[in-house]
Chains A and B, each alone.
Chain A
Amino acid sequence: MIWLTPLAVAGALATAAAAIYRASDSAAARSIAVRAVTAVALGTTGITIIELHLAERAATAWLAPPTGLALVPIAFSLTALVIVSLAPLASHPPRTLARVLLLLAVATAALSSTAPAAIAAAWLASTWIAWTEFRERAPGGDAARLFATYHSASSALAVAGAAGLALGSPAVGIPLLIAGIAIRQAIVPLHSWLPQFVEAMPLGIVVAFIAPQLGLYAHLALLVDGIPGEIATAIAATGAFTAVIAAGLGIVQSDARRALAFLIISQTGLVAFGLENHSPVARAGASAAWLALAVATTGFAMTLAALEARRGRLSLHIPTGNFARTPRLAVALLFFGFASVGFPATLGFVAEDLLVQGSVAEFPALCLALIAATALNGITVMRAFLYLFSGSARHGGELDLQRRELRALTIAMMVLLLAGLFPQPLVSLVQPRPAAATDATAAAP
């Protein structure tokens, strides 16, 4: 089965990428990218609304993936809009910006099928695109070598696993695929490539490679419900372990990019944990968290990128910032940071609430670990905000958010806030369909 909407969105993003790849002027390339992505985002939203409307009459089964995934292309196009609108010119020349769009195009295209071969192909393509950026930027560096080491292993495992599944031998395919996904999703202790990747690459590439969580999609499309009980428990436990350890590591970082990296790892752990729950509540939470994190983490990372473009490398050693000139940049960083750790009134809150409430019957102890991880991640975000924007009376006269940046961030904020204040429509869409759902927690006293 192939769904057409994600393919169309991917095609549009890829076309925009092709249009700017050879541009000579960075500013012009960005301007084209912003316009193109705005059109894609509007188009995607429109099509999805029509689809959901028609889906009630079951007329569009061939257009959109099952309702749970119908919203993902919107989240990805919003992610693309935030990235291209905030991408600093110095670190995002036309080729880099084109790769950002291409990465998102590949991730969206992956949603058009649940065939193992298609997912493996998207997996390889996105790894290759990120790798080409490495080749141009930091060939031979530690980060590039780590990336090569981890991702050649991860891609080989994923391809072998997908082949195993396609050839009808899940006993071989599933373990290989799990190992591949664990590396790709930077599950502790297989995470070491990610902090280096975040430190070395332009943040636009980082977000476009990580935020769509291709590994998570592979997990959702190929593995969920196919994993034997004990292994599922082990995966959930590893997810929770990752969430806590990475949250702790995030707190002790003195570099903003590394802190961001561990924040991302911790949240990936949370989602991985949620997917291996059998409760539909936790699964709905994990799916909502996927959407919330794609947008919120992108907002947080790109505000960091915008601030870095204004100030240079950002240290979290002591509070030495000032937001007198950049109040909205500061608020955006705070908002998206907290949105990504599940602050009330944002979509992340609902997602994490569902994750925790859904998993308590199955994994009470892990559930407490999850709560602790979220608390620690909140501390990392607050530290980043306070240390980057206060503590000093001096400022470098930086510019606040420009109109282009403000527009994209405002849209992303409104989406997170509206979905957070009125979550039921979204949650109804992402909750597992009753046929597949086995409410393990319903029997709880």
Chain B
Amino acid sequence: MIQDIHDVLKVLTLSLLIFPAGVAAVLIFVAWFDRARSEATVNALVATGYTATVAAATALLALMASQGVERVVVPLGAWVAVGHYHFDWTLIADHLSVPFALFSSMLVALIGAFSRRYLHLERGYLRFYLLMALFGAGVELVVLAGSLDLVFFAWEIVGLTSALLIAFFNERRRPVEHGFLAFVTYRLCDIGLLGAAVWLHHTVGTSAVTAAPTATTPWASFAVPAGAAATAAGLMLLWAAMGKSAQVPLGGWLPRAMEGPTPSSAIFYGAISIHLGPYLLLRAGSILDHAPMAAAAVTMVGAVTALHATFVGRVQSDIKSALAYASMTQVGLIFVEIGLGCRYFALAHIVGHAAIRSLQILRSPSLLHDHHHLEQAMGAQLPKTGGHLERLVPDRLQPWLYRHALERGYLEGIIKDYALGGFLRLFRRLDALDRAWSRAVAQSGPQAARWSRAGRDAREAS
């Protein structure tokens, strides 16, 4: 009986990956071979696939809770094995991954349903659903992954589909540039993730989730290298999480991502994508437990982001930017919680924040309508809410802070001028040198080319 239940749990876990991946595969096939498809067909496919995923995740959660199963491990075998190196595909369903898998599949399903009308007759209808399905499959794999290698595999897919969805309205330059900016940020931060995976292989021989739960990290986590190596792994993971979760100073892409369609914005900066950074840090709890400096860095980054984003968010004049900064603030706070070791609290915060923020973002195009509706119901203007910070900050400091917030803390200018600008200037100079060198060599090189030209001329003349 017990064995049967374990088999059922394994099948359910596997189906969390297979349904979304299957939907994505069918849509890719349909798009590439240009098969006739209607909006209704596309929608029915996505709706069926994701409803099945949500049902499987719910059943998994319920069964695990009722049977008191802590963890389901689904080994899918060695994917690549050469010498001492193994890349195994293993899925893990536990206290951390199942809630994540459930809420992300639920949100993707919800956003799929919402977009049926929102994107009706839009030319990129199929493209939107294809990218969303692929994104959903990537997210399920990130959260169920049983090793950091596998996380990286899925992380890349999530990054690419996110960038392409931000650039969804591809006929305007701005969304395309913003999609590119997001991609650049992701890609640079992926260095941290792959670096951490390789580092774990090097130091402890595996990047698999093997460490047993402890009092501070109540779910299975990664094996921890000794001493400074743990700090290095923690910092690399923090770098990876900072890009995906738009933490200071890498958060510039987030408010710009609003140029994508509203439903996909809800996926990114409201709900799923932005929370993958905290997910990664939660999964790597064992490493943070053994690397106090890395944990302190997580707290610090989160605190600075929360402060920065709450100030900047207050001066935004459009609703989607304001919501983007509000998300950034909350995710900053989640980072602080993780850094301080409050793991379950952070998980609850993530789920709650994802739910409320997606609702706000999906409602944002109807903001004025909602306001009118509320005012009519109240029979008066809506009272001004918030403003606690304004009362706390001294008057003399307020203009300075206002200017600071308007300029987004000058962060982007600094990065553009110094970090990124310096890199681009250096390589442009190298490129110019390369061209100059090529010219010089070509003009003083051996005479072979001229001989050949002379020979050809002679042949033609004859």
Contacts and interface: CB of A to CB of B under 8 A. Distances in A.
B85 A379 contact: no
A63 B35 CA distance: 43
B418 interface: no
Tell me what chain B mostly uses at the interface: helix, strand, loop, or mixed: helix
Interface of A: 131, 134-135, 139-149, 152, 192-193, 195-196, 245, 248-249, 251-253, 279-281, 284, 318-319, 322-324, 327-328, 331, 338, 343-345, 349-350, 353-354, 356-358, 360-361, 364, 367-368, 371-372, 375-376, 378-379, 382-383, 386-387, 389-393, 410, 423-424, 427, 431, 437, 439, 441-442, 444-445
Given A139-B449, A140-B450, A281-B84, A390 B170 contact: yes
Q: Which 9 pairs between the two chains have the least Cβ-Cβ distance?
A: A390-B170, A149-B445, A142-B442, A148-B448, A393-B171, A139-B453, A145-B442, A140-B453, A145-B449
A376 B449 CA distance: 36
B427 to A, nearest CB: 4
A322 B171 contact: yes
Contact of A375 (B79, B85, B188, B205): B188
Contacts of B438: 142, 146, 192-193, 195-196
B157 interface: yes
A389 B184 CA distance: 18
B243 to A, nearest CB: 11
25 contacts: A142-B438, A142-B439, A143-B442, A145-B446, A146-B442, A149-B441, A149-B446, A149-B448, A195-B434, A345-B157, A353-B80, A353-B87, A353-B149, A354-B82, A360-B198, A360-B199, A375-B188, A378-B187, A382-B187, A386-B179, A392-B173, A441-B84, A444-B84, A444-B205, A445-B204
Given A318-B173, A319-B173, A372-B191, A192 B83 contact: no
Given A248-B423, A386-B180, A445 B205 contact: yes
Contacts of B156: 343-344
B431 A424 contact: no
B83 A146 contact: no
Nearest to B149: A353
Contacts of A387: 176
A252 B428 contact: yes
Given A284-B82, A319-B177, A375-B190, A192 B434 contact: yes
Contacts of B205: 444-445
Contacts of B167: 386, 390
Contact of B203 (A143, A144, A343, A445): A445
Contacts of A249: 427, 430-431, 434
Contacts, number: 197
Nearest to B202: A360
Given A338-B160, A343-B160, A427-B80, A146 B445 contact: yes
Interface in B206-239: none
Interface residues on B, range: 35 or more
Given A343-B160, A427-B82, A439-B83, A349 B153 contact: yes
Contacts of B179: 386
Which one of A152, A327, A360, A386 has the greatest number of beta carbons of chain B within 10 Å? A386
Given A139-B449, A353-B87, 4 more contacts: A148-B448, A149-B445, A372-B191, A375-B188
A424 B170 contact: no
B449 A140 contact: yes
A382 B183 contact: yes
Interface in B76-111: 78-85, 87
A328 B35 CA distance: 13
B201 A357 contact: yes
Nearest to A421: B79
B385 interface: no
A356 B176 contact: no
A341 B157 CA distance: 13
A253 B453 contact: no
A140 B190 CA distance: 45
A391 B176 contact: yes
Contacts of B203: 445
Nearest to A147: B449
B204 to A, nearest CB: 8
Contacts of B396: none
A284 B424 CA distance: 34
B79 A319 contact: no
Contacts of A143: 442
Contact of B176 (A253, A371, A386): A386
A390 B176 contact: yes
Contacts of B188: 375
Contacts of A356: 194, 198
Contact of B172 (A331, A379, A391): A391
Contact of A248 (B153, B430, B445): B430
B456 A135 contact: yes
A375 B191 contact: yes
Contacts of A323: 170
B449 A152 contact: no
Contacts of B430: 245, 248-249
Nearest to A196: B438
A445 B123 CA distance: 55
B441 A146 contact: yes
B445 A145 contact: yes
A154 B80 CA distance: 37
B163 interface: yes
Contacts of A371: 191, 194-195, 198
B198 A253 contact: no
B367 to A, nearest CB: 28
Nearest to A377: B187
Nearest to B126: A327
Contact of A424 (B80, B183, B443): B80
Interface in B417-461: 423-424, 426-428, 430-431, 434, 437-439, 441-443, 445-446, 448-450, 452-453, 456
Interface in B141-182: 149, 152-154, 156-157, 160, 163, 167, 170-173, 176-177, 179-180
A146 B435 CA distance: 11
Contacts of B199: 360
Contact of A350 (B80, B160, B427): B80
B206 to A, nearest CB: 11
A367 B198 contact: yes
Nearest to B157: A344
B116 to A, nearest CB: 22
A134 B199 CA distance: 47
B201 to A, nearest CB: 6
A357 B148 CA distance: 13
Given A144-B449, A423-B80, A390 B171 contact: yes
B427 A248 contact: yes
A361 B198 CA distance: 10
A389 B170 CA distance: 8
Contacts of B82: 280-281, 284, 354, 358, 427, 431
Interface in B27-41: 31-32, 34
A350 B438 CA distance: 36
A382 B171 contact: no
Contacts of B184: 379, 382
Nearest to B455: A135
Contacts of B448: 145, 148-149, 152
Nearest to B188: A375
A251 to B, nearest CB: 7
A392 B170 CA distance: 7
A198 to B, nearest CB: 12
A148 B171 contact: no
Given A135-B456, A386-B180, A390-B176, A152 B160 contact: no
